[in-house]
């Protein structure tokens, strides 16, 4: 996974969705060059987890969720 540095902030692609849960906030980034989705999950006590998924993995994982429907950009991308 390539990370782009902008000032002091690491960039994982274009921010495409933010989801607020009770105990965390997830930001989803799409890197068009690498065809990767990166999830930055901010947890309590300033903890952060970073997860990376291929587009196919991400679609399978969130097949029946509202998250997948938020990503109209993903439906236009060739998966080959």
Distance CA 17, CA 6 (A): 20
Q: What share of the chain is helix, strand, coil (3-state, %, to 5)?
A: 25, 40, 35
Q: Is residue 76 part of a domain?
A: no
Residue 10 domain flag? yes
Among the listed residues 47, 51, 70, 49, the one whose alpha carbon sits nearest the alpha carbon of residue 59: 70
Rounded to two decimals, the pTM is 0.73
Asked if residue 25 is part of any domain, the answer here is yes
Judged against a pLDDT cut of 90, whether residue 50 lies above it is answered with yes
- Which tens digit of pLDDT belongs to each residue from 16-27? 888 898 899 999
pLDDT in tens, 5-17: 555 456 788 888 8
Domain total in the chain: 1
Q: Cα(11)–Cα(29) distance, rounded to whole angstroms?
A: 9
């Amino acid at each position: 996974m390539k990370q782009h540095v902008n000032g002091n902030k690491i960039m994982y692609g274009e921010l495409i969705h933010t989801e607020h849960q009770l105990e965390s906030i997830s930001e989803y980034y799409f890197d068009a060059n690498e065809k990767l989705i990166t999830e930055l999950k901010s947890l309590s006590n300033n903890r952060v987890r970073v997860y990376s998924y291929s587009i196919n993995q991400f679609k399978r994982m969130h097949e029946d969720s509202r998250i997948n429907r938020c990503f109209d950009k993903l439906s236009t991308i060739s998966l080959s």
